[in-house]
Amino acid sequence: MKRAVGIVAFVLIFLSVFLCAERILSRKSTEGWWNVTAKIDGFYNSPENEYDVIYFGSSNTYCSFNPLVVWEKTGVKSYVFATQQQPVWATYHYMVDAFERQTPEVAVMDVLMFSKNDEYYDDGVNYTFCDNMPLSKNKLELVWASAPKGERFNLAFKFMKYHSRWNELTKQDFLYRKANMEDYSKGFYILTQEYDSAVHTDVSKEKATAELSEKNLTYLHKIIDLCKENGVELLLVKAPSNATLEEKHYYNAVEKVAEERGVSFVDYNLMYSEIELDLEHDFYDATHLNVTGAEKFTEFFVENTEYFEGKVRSDTDWQAEWEKYREAAVKE
């Protein structure tokens, strides 16, 4: 009996030390424009059933959809649950976690990553979408889909990949508490820089389709099924990104599947004049909107999406966040 108690005590002490060390040693980004740690943790720390709309995908998602603008215009609360270069299978597992915590009426997914055919991505991409996801069966399934055999353990357990960071630690590493993280911009990246060399190609007449990778196609159907099972309306979109002809072929393929499955698809690369995007002032770089472009796009999205019709803000719940955002959104 004493031996059993001793073993249990040892295991508990080991786990406590292990988890503490993992928290301290793991890489974090909690401040500035690129505070992905705060943004992802902020979603997990949100009140249950807080959001009626959740946006999923890669960087084109978090640079384009501005939840505070949506709230100010309609009163609808939403969040951007996205990471850089997020693969389609990661988006699926993000949806699984999101639907366990929230009961959104609408899920919006940007389709950029369907134009990529990689079977796996590098550690930088994988760690970004895996590190801040709580350990669960869903996370382990994501890890299994995201890395080949022999590389999965390090992806699942942060301590193994960050144990050598001990000589890089800063005060932030010791003060970080996941439960305290929040993001006032609700997952949106406030990018004020202007890029005056963006090039927009007219792809409106391009009807050809490219073959989606087997993995991407499988997860597209899994995403559609997941949303239907949870009673969530899925909107597949392509946010303005100066799409190339090659990319458009993949978006056309996604649109074809969407039509077959009865899902909405809209390519906003075909609507620059209606959105009134300015190529010299509304982009952060060649393919991502800055804060001005995102405001224009988000307003256009709200005004032209049936779900938002007739919705008008009648509360001040996010007023402090809105005012903080307006101050941060001023271009230098």
For residue 156, give the 3-state DSSP assignment.
helix
Between CA 185 and CA 319 the distance in angstroms is 12
Task: Compute the average pLDDT of residues 222-241.
Answer: 98
For 45-62, write each residue's pLDDT tens digit.
999 999 999 999 999 999
For residue 2, give the 3-state DSSP assignment.
helix
pLDDT at 1: 67
Between CA 292 and CA 290 the distance in angstroms is 6
pLDDT at 299: 98
pLDDT band at 35 (very low <50, low <70, confident <90, very high): confident
Residue 13 has pLDDT above 60, yes or no: no
For 124-134, write each residue's pLDDT tens digit.
899 899 889 99
Residue 97 has pLDDT above 70, yes or no: yes
pLDDT at 22: 53
pLDDT band at 160 (very low <50, low <70, confident <90, very high): low
Residue 8, burial from CB neighbour count under 10 angstroms (0-12, 13-18, 19+): exposed
pLDDT at 163: 47
Residue 300 has pLDDT above 80, yes or no: yes
Query: Which contiguous run of DSSP H or E holds residue 79?
Result: strand 78-82
Cβ-based neighbours of 93, under 8 Å, separated by 6 or more: 133, 138, 139, 141, 142, 145
Residue 316 has pLDDT above 90, yes or no: yes
Between 225 and 124, name the one with better pLDDT: 225
pLDDT at 154: 83
**CATH code reported for the domain at 30-155+181-328:** 3.40.50.1110
Between CA 305 and CA 232 the distance in angstroms is 15
Task: Compute the average pLDDT of residues 202-220.
Answer: 97
pLDDT at 181: 77
Between CA 328 and CA 332 the distance in angstroms is 10
Task: Compute the average pLDDT of residues 131-156.
Answer: 92
Out of 130-144, 177-191, 295-309, least confident range: 177-191
pLDDT at 168: 59
Residue 198 has pLDDT above 90, yes or no: yes
Between CA 224 and CA 215 the distance in angstroms is 14
**What pTM, to 2 d.p., does this model score?**
0.90
pLDDT at 309: 96
